[in-house]
A and B are shown apart, each in its own frame.
Chain A
Amino acid sequence: MTKSVTDVICPFCGTLCDDLEVVVSDDGKTIVDVYNACAIGAEKFMHAQASGRVTRPRMQQPDGSYKEVSYDEAVEYTAQMLAKSKKPLMYGWSSTSCEAQSVGHEIAEQVGAIVDNTATVCHGTTLLAVQDVGIPSCTLGEVKNRADRIIFWGCNPCHAHPRHMSRYSIFPRGFFTNKGHKNRKMIVVDPRNTDTAKMADIHFQIEQGRDYELLSALRVALRKEVLPDTVAGVPKEKIYEAAELLTSGRFGIIFFGMGVTQTLSKNHNIDEAIMLTKDLNEFTKFSIMAMRGHYNVTGSGQVLGWQFGYPFCVDLSRGFARYNPGETSSNDLLRRGEVDAVFVLGSDPGAHFPISSVKKISELPSVAVDPHITPTTEVAKLHVPVAFVGVEVGGNCYRMDNVPIDARKVVDPPEGVLTDEEFLTRVNKRVKELMEA
C-alpha cells in the first residue's frame, strides 16, 4: 500500500508550485511517484532518493581524498573557522528555508561576516534598481485573473519556469480572463529564438546588449516623441505599434529574467523597465515582476531585508549592516581577496561563479553545506550533507511575487542526517562560546 501527500510545494524554481501530489511508500521512507510537477520539479524529488547519497560530513585530506567525520567534528571545524576569520563570506541561502537563513544570520552577526545570496549573480541588479526607483508589482494571482498584456523580457519560462505559463501567465482562465490565452497578447523580447519566443504574438529579436535602448525607445514612443529609424535592430514603426498594443490592454505585466539583468547595463535595464511600467500606468494598469530562479532566493532577500535592511551583499564586519554591491558582492570580494574564509549553504557557486572566484574558494578555509555532491563541495575543505528542504523537512519559502508559502515534509531524511537549521543552530551555539571566550 502506498499513500499520497497532497498540496506539496515544489522546492525547485521561483514559481513555487503548491499543488503537487507525492506518492510515498507505506513506511513513509521512499517516494514512489510525483504528480503535477514539471519534469525538473519531479526530478528534484526523485533525486533525493538517489542511491550513493552522502550521509555523513566529509573532510578533504591533503592528498585530495575524503575522510568521513562526525557532525560534532563538522560543527567544531565550521565554528572555529568562522570565529578565527576576520571577514568570512557566508554565501548561498537560496535553496533553504527562511528559518535556517535566520539562524545563519545570527552566526554572521557574531563573526562579522558578509552575507550574500544567489541574487548576486542573478537578480541583484533588479534589487539595485528597485532601491533606486521603487517597483509597481503585483501577485501571480492578479496576473492570472486580470493580465491581458504579457511581456517576457530576457527570460525563457518554457525551460526555466516550466509551469509559469500554464498556472499564471498565459493559459489559465481567470476571473477577468475567462478565455485563457485568447484573452492575452504575448510579447517576447530576446535576441535568441527561444521556445518561449516561438509562442509569442510579437517577438522582438533585438541586438545583444541593447535592451536599455529599446526600453528607452518605448518610453519615447509613449511620449509621442521622435525616434531614430531603428533602435536595437527594431524598426521604429514596430516600436510605436508595440507602445500602442501595451496601452490598449486592461492590465499588463512585464516578466523579466537574467537575459536582461546580467547583460550590458544590468541594473539600468531594470531601472528603465520599471520606469516604463510607471509610464504605462498613465494609460492603463501595468505591473512588473522578476522571474526569480531558486525557489527561496526571494525569501533570503526578505529575511535579510527585515533583519538588516538590505536584501543581499550585507557586510556586517564592522558590527552594523553596510551594503554596496560592487564592493560587498561575493565575486568582487573573492576576486579582490577581501575575505579570508568561505561558508556556503543552499547554493552551488562552484558551478555558477567565474573560475577565478572558484579558485579563490579552493584556496581559503571553506565549508559547503549541501545535500548533494556538487562542484562546490568538491573544492570545499569540509562538506556537510543535510536533509532536502521541501522534501525531507518543511520550512517557509517566498514565491517570486513575494508570497510566503510553507513547504511540506514528504519523507524522512536518511538516518542521522541533520537539517540545515539543526546544523546551523549547533554551529551558532559553538560560535557563541568561542566568541565569548
Chain B
Amino acid sequence: METVTLTIKSQPVLFLEADNITPDVFAGKSAADIASLHAYEGRDQITLGKYFDVAGKAGATAADTKIVVKGDVSRVKYIGMKMSAGEILVEKSADMYVGGWMQGGKLTVKGNVDAFAGLGMQNGELIIEGNAGNYLGAAYRGDWRGMQAGVIRVKGNAGSDIGTFMNGGTIIVEGNVDVHVGTHAEGGKIIVKGNGKSKIGGQMVEGEIYVFGTIDVMMPGYKYIEDVDLEVDGVKGKFALYHGDLGERHPKRKGQIVYGKLYQKI
C-alpha cells in the first residue's frame, strides 16, 4: 500500500470543499497530480496544492492507497466523500461531511468531526476518536435512505439526529447522545454506551437501539415486553426490551408484526 501525506499549510479564509480527498480520486496519481486537483473556496476553484503540501504517491488503485491528513483541517469539508476502498487517517479534527456517502474502505479521524459525518453511508468503516456532531449516519435532506451498511464508531459523544432514516449498518457511540436517535429508522443498529436524552426511536418502523445509560423521557409509543440477557459490543448484561413506535406503521412478516426494538440496560 502506498501512502500520500497531505499537510495543511495555512487555514482557508472561508471553508474549503475538498471532495477530491479520497483514495478513489488519488489512485494512480503522483504528488504533483494530486496537488493540482481542484477544491473550492466559496465560488473560487483552487487547487489542493494551494492549501496542502503533498508528499508520497498513491497506489495504482483506491484499495492500494492510504491518505494521511496532517494538521488542523477543521475548516475542510467532504474528506473521504464517496470513498470506496483504501484508507484515510485524519490526525486532527475535520469539518462537515466526513465520509459522506462512503462506500467502503476505512476512515479514521483522531479528533472531532462536525455535522453530517457518514451521511447516507453505504458501506465501510468510519472511526471518530473524538466527538461527532449532529446527523451522524443520517439521510441527506429529503432522502429516505440514511445509513445503509457498514460501521460507524464514535469514541466520544455525538450530537442530535443520529441515524435518521437509517436502514442498515451499525452506529456505536461510546459516550452520550443528544435528542432524536434513529428517527424514522427502518433497520440497522444503534448502540449508545453513555446516556440518551429524549425522542429516542420516534417514528421508528424497524431496527434496534441499545442504550446503556439513562433515558430522560421515553417516547409514549414504547411498550415494555420483557427482560433479556444479551452481549452488546463486548458487554454482557440484562436489558429491558421495549417495542415501538406504536404510533407508526409496521410491516408484517410471517404473520407477525415487526416492531422497532429499544433495549435499555438495567
Chain A residues packing against B (C-beta within 8 Å): 85-87, 111-112, 128, 131-132, 210, 212-213, 216-220, 222-223, 225-228, 231, 264-265, 268, 271-272, 275, 317-319, 323-327, 336-340
Contacts and interface: CB of A to CB of B under 8 A. Distances in A.
A431 to B, nearest CB: 13
Interface in B232-266: 245-248
A326 B220 contact: no
Nearest to A319: B43
A207 B142 CA distance: 30
B207 interface: no
Contacts of A337: 14
B14 A86 contact: yes
B245 A216 contact: yes
Interface in B88-131: 96, 115-116
Chain A CB count within 10 A is highest, among B15, B40, B43, B135, for: B43
B13 interface: yes
B231 interface: no
30 contacts: A86-B41, A86-B43, A111-B43, A112-B42, A131-B141, A132-B141, A132-B144, A210-B217, A212-B202, A213-B198, A213-B220, A217-B220, A217-B221, A219-B247, A220-B220, A220-B221, A222-B247, A223-B247, A225-B223, A226-B246, A268-B183, A268-B203, A271-B184, A272-B203, A275-B248, A317-B42, A323-B141, A326-B116, A336-B15, A337-B14
Contacts of B245: 216
Interface of B: 13-15, 17, 40-44, 96, 115-116, 134-135, 140-142, 144, 165, 179-180, 183-184, 198-199, 202-203, 217-221, 223, 245-248
B42 A86 contact: yes
Nearest to A221: B247
Chain A CB count within 10 A is highest, among B41, B199, B220, B245, for: B220
A265 B184 CA distance: 14
A170 B236 CA distance: 58
Given A111-B43, A227-B220, A324-B116, 4 more contacts: A112-B43, A216-B202, A268-B199, A317-B42
Contacts of B198: 213
Nearest to A279: B247
Contact of A220 (B96, B142, B183, B247): B247
B247 A271 contact: no
B119 to A, nearest CB: 9
Interface of A is mostly: loop
A231 B245 CA distance: 15
Contact of B180 (A111, A210, A265): A265
Nearest to A230: B220
Contacts of B43: 86-87, 111-112, 317-319
Chain A CB count within 10 A is highest, among B202, B221, B223, for: B221
A223 B249 CA distance: 9
Contacts of A112: 42-43
Chain B CB count within 10 A is highest, among A324, A325, A337, A340, for: A324
A231 B220 CA distance: 7
A411 B183 CA distance: 52
B220 A216 contact: yes
Contacts of A264: 179
Contacts of B116: 324, 326-327
Nearest to A324: B141
Contacts of A217: 220-221, 247
A217 B203 CA distance: 11
B1 to A, nearest CB: 32
Contacts of B202: 212, 216, 268, 272
Contacts of B134: 326
A268 B202 CA distance: 9
Nearest to A228: B220
A340 B44 CA distance: 13
B44 A225 contact: no
A326 B135 contact: yes
Contacts of A111: 43
A222 B15 CA distance: 48
Nearest to A216: B247
A283 to B, nearest CB: 15
A338 B13 CA distance: 8
B128 to A, nearest CB: 18
Contacts of B40: 317-318
B15 A338 contact: yes
Given A86-B44, A220-B221, A268-B202, A132 B142 contact: yes
A223 B180 contact: no
B27 to A, nearest CB: 24
